[in-house]
Structure 1
């Protein structure tokens, strides 16, 4: 349960975004393999490791009432790490190297001897880069994209867009954990910003990402992709606006239930948008 497999699926949009940005054909078999490695092995291993060292007593991502941590959890995490590396190697050594880097960084985030999570700006930068642009490019490597596609200017701009979206959404995932984080001495970005500041920061990051996305799609001659994005994410904007308005007047509503609802709706809507772009581009 502490591997939080359903919560891992909230990270799907970055994977689909990376694939939708590719202009060259790719193997759907490789795509399925890369998806399985990341979402069924890498992310659950990272979640489990985070849970082992955090030992949360209150709600955490995907779990309203997390169970007690046992030593067996760390054994299971190591098994998932090994399976992730084995699966990644089947898709190529470059993908495997990126998977190893991601696993190591995710452990540094929580490991008590390093615990990047204690440092609000550094931990935010790590999450924004590695769950955003790094994962965007890692997904592309997983399906066999070469250096030409990876380092093409507009592809790198879209990778930056994914990090801007993470920059906006990441503090929202911390907004209900202020008491828990303060108890452990983790000065997260959301805790530093406060509830109102978190919503303002999130709106700024998401708006910046959308503007850069629009510019990049215009540069690529793919304005239809921006229209798909705006149409599909309408429910996200509506939900975010309502939640921000309610929590602004009643901070108690910056809670686990609203956060998970926001994660679920945004994950589904963003995935629909990027899968739609992918289907349009692969015709």
Structure 2
């Protein structure tokens, strides 16, 4: 209710914290904040006070009394018309200073134009009052929250460009060898981008993998030292064995399979050719 001294915090009426692990910023949904209200800022938050669009102050942990910053009303006039309070109204924005996770998923293409899926996790936080100010100034609010999902929409193109810059020049089976280089490029590009929004990048984890299941199996076989043709043959043999085809071992070792008299088959195998 307007004109009543109130406590502003991130706790709901039942005492639950409204800023969870997926909330970067929270706009206190009350337009009756006035001079004399108590602003509570938790240890893992920053509080930003605005009035008529202008940023008045950024607060760290503690409880603060909101004071009119410009020529407050005083004396009998204030007492008579406003009950000792000022009619100024304020907005409060809370910024989460805990470490949050941003995630990006997408598709990159190897040098052979094979599809490579990727999953990148980035750990970020708002480090200082100055960074909280940058976030409020540059990150738009579409409602009362700014979620990590919304921030992902900003970071995904940067991550995608960084990954494709290296993956598109790399053969499919050598992409994992480039992971240290890919991670460093993501960190460099992403930190430069996030700094505009007052976000500090702590770490980046990434996984890049062939989207086609067959290619995963073939690359795994190649990792055992098999040639390309041997890897294809062993993969085909495994598929045949899964479907109960008795000639699967022959496919694996590259030998023909004969149906009929086993002695004749053995002689043909030794001779290295078929009888006419």
Superposition TM-score tier, normalisation by shorter sequence: under 0.3
Could you tell me the TM-score, scaled by structure 1's length?
0.25
Q: Which has the higher strand share?
A: 2
Could you tell me the TM-score, scaled by structure 2's length?
0.25
The structure that has the greater radius of gyration is 2
Q: Which has the higher helix share?
A: 1
Q: Which has the higher contact order (CA 8 A, sep 6+)?
A: 1
